[in-house]
Amino acid sequence: MLGYCFELITGPMSCGKTEELLRRVKRCMIAKKKVKVISPQIDTREQSDCIKSRNGLWLDAIKVKHSIQILSLVKDDDDVVAIDELQFFDSNIVKVIAKLMEQGKKVIGTGLDLDFKGEVFGSMPELMCIATNVDKLHAVCMKCGSDHATRTQRLIDGKPADKNSPLIMIGGDETYEARCIKCWELPDAKEEEKRGSENKILQFALK
């Protein structure tokens, strides 16, 4: 049976999540299944209403602001619902996908499992729990070349972003790159400033 399932594709930036989503969607289309492709409105990397992989593959998509809108967009004759960048949706996305599964739809989704701080991203933990299948992809570390990159490194002016920078910052290869755990960096300017102040106080006290 085609429906009643949720395939979740996850991993860091540049691991091929969207490419894999597009591959699966195109297989469904070859099988003459009706597919609805959805993307969060917050993802502004593409100016047109589409999702696009880093290797240039693309597909028309409907952009939505709130996850609850998805239920009104999906019609009875839609067999497959593909949703890109699940981490950007509000918490209702979990209930929405559960409802689509109840309706007999096959749901295929992608999402970053961890944010640039190395912390769980949005509703991804809950989505992993309700998924019938989870594929965690690895990328190539852009610093050492390891093929086990599982972290997303945010860069600002070519340097690792401070942990206190905003959680959401839309960007491409110039802003994010995949890194292995060993090469991933998360500087904390506030902590470094605090340690610096403490050292100054200590040095003054020792004089």
The two structure tokens encoding residue 58: 């693309």
Q: What are phi and psi of 160, to 5 degrees?
A: -55, 130
Eight-state DSSP code of residue 120: B
How many residues are present in the chain? 207
Between CA 110 and CA 13 the distance in angstroms is 11
| From 19, 20, 85, 177, the catalytic residue | 85
Residue from 86, 19, 27 nearest 58 by CA? 19
> Annotated catalytic, 191?
no
Cβ-Cβ contacts under 8 Å for 10 (sequence gap 6 or more): 17, 110, 111, 112, 113, 124, 128, 134, 135, 136, 137
| Alpha-helical runs (H) found in the chain | 17-30, 69-73, 93-102, 124-130, 189-206
Give me the active site residues, please.
85
